[in-house]
Amino acid sequence: MAAEALVPSSAAEAVQLFGDGKDITVFAGGTILMPEIAAGRLKPARTLLLHRSGLDELRIDGDVIRIGATVPVAALVDGSNELLARFAQEIGDREVRAAATVGGNICATAGLGAQRGDLGAPLIALGARVRSDGKGGERTEPVEDFLAGDRSGRLVLEIEVDAPKGAWSAQTLRRRHAHSYSVANVAICSNGDGLRVGVSGIGPAAVRARTVEQSRNAEDVLKDVDPVDDALASAAYRQKMLVVLTQRALDEVGKA
């Protein structure tokens, strides 16, 4: 491989080398990119490896958790935020979680025949914010906006997560063995004056389901999401299951 491998030693250097993200492949944990390279589907010419950029800090700042982009998914499994832990523990297996990163998870696009980016659902439900840099400079935005926008040209630096302010529910559906990808995920947080509903595992990016937040009618989750067919599950099955998962989450949040 004649790839040029750049290893910045600070976040600032990483941002500077990333530029506007053109013609550069960002390596966080590598768990998504290495299989693509092994299969010959990805042949990066320039790579930016973040493992020395100091982006792997997990800091607790009062009620806010600041998760660096390259914090491993494993760190969330035993972490203080139980909603995140519930989703994190389903990703891959122990060894994959030790290498996979939170930033990599939310920047992931759909795989060949499987969906990714599971953490998007609880992060949306928790009202998390993504701080990123790149084309257009540094900005902080809600996770759902980051995911819905044009992610090319953005280098994720940090994710800020508030502790849940009220009841929450984690509903995950996958095949029954380790490191299976998702069929569908729903996360709901209630904070007294409203709900936040995040859905992941059903398409190329996690989505905020605003209609059901207002109506509290589980079927309305389908008004904001467009599940795909893939190797694991059909769109039709996902649609049916999403309604069930949403109902369960609404019930759990409602009971608390």
Partner 1 sequence: MKAVGARLPRYDGVGHVTGRTQYVDDVRVGRTLWVKALRSPHHHAGITKLDTAKAEAMQGVYAVITHKDVPRNVYGHLEGLGVPGDEPLLADGEVRYKGQPIAAVAAESEEAAQAAVEAIEVAYDERPALFDIRLALDPDAPKIHQWGNVYPHYGPYNHRRVRKGDIDWAFDKADVIVEGVYRPQAIEQMPMETQVALAVPEANGRLTIYSCTQAMYFSMGVVAAHLEVPLNKLKFVGGTVGGGFGGKVDTAADTICALLAIKARRPVKWRWTREEEFLSSSTRAAWHIEIADAVTSDGWILGRRTVTLHDSGAYARFSPYGVTKHAFHHSGAYSIPNLRFDGFVCFTNRVPSTAMRGFGVTSVSFAVETHLTRVASVLGIDPWELRLRNANRIGDTSGNGVALKDPSTVAVALAAAERVGIELPAEYRQMTSDPRSGDLLPEHLVAQQRLNGEGA
Partner 2 sequence: MRLTVNGREHEIASAPLTALLHVLREELEITSPKAGCQQGGCGTCTVLVDGEPRRSCLTPVVMVDGAAITTLEGLGEAEELSAVQAAFHNKYAAQCGFCTPGMVVAATALIERKGGAVDRDDVLEALGGHYCRCTGYVKIVDAVMAASRGDVEAVADLPTPGESEPDVLVKGSPA
Q: Which residues bind partner 1 (CB under 8 A)?
A: 1, 38-40
Among 76, 82, 62, 71, residue whose Cα is nearest residue 189 = 82
Is residue 180 a contact partner of residue 92, using CB atoms and an 8 Å limit?
A: no
Closest approach, Cβ 182 to partner 1, in A, equals 20
43 vs 223, beta carbon nearer partner 2: 43
How long, in residues, is the chain? 256
36 vs 252, beta carbon nearer partner 1: 36
2 vs 62, beta carbon nearer partner 2: 2
| DSSP conformation letters of 13-55 | HHHHHHTT-TT-EEESS-TTHHHHHHTTS---SEEEE-TTTT-
Residue type at position 240: K
40 binds, among partner 2, partner 1, none (CB under 5 to 8 A by kind): partner 1
139 binds, among partner 1, partner 2, none (CB under 5 to 8 A by kind): none
Q: How many CB atoms lie within 10 A of CB 154?
A: 23
Binding site for partner 2 (CB under 8 A): 1-3, 5, 7, 27, 29-31, 34-35, 37-39, 44, 47, 49, 51, 92-96, 98-99, 177-179
Closest approach, Cβ 181 to partner 2, in A, equals 10
* Sign of the alpha-carbon dihedral angle for 217, 242, 84, 137: negative
Distance between CA 88 and CA 154 in Å, rounded? 23
8 binds, among partner 2, partner 1, none (CB under 5 to 8 A by kind): none
Closest approach, Cβ 99 to partner 1, in A, equals 19
92 vs 227, beta carbon nearer partner 2: 92
66 binds, among partner 2, partner 1, none (CB under 5 to 8 A by kind): none
Cα 13 to chain centroid, rounded: 24
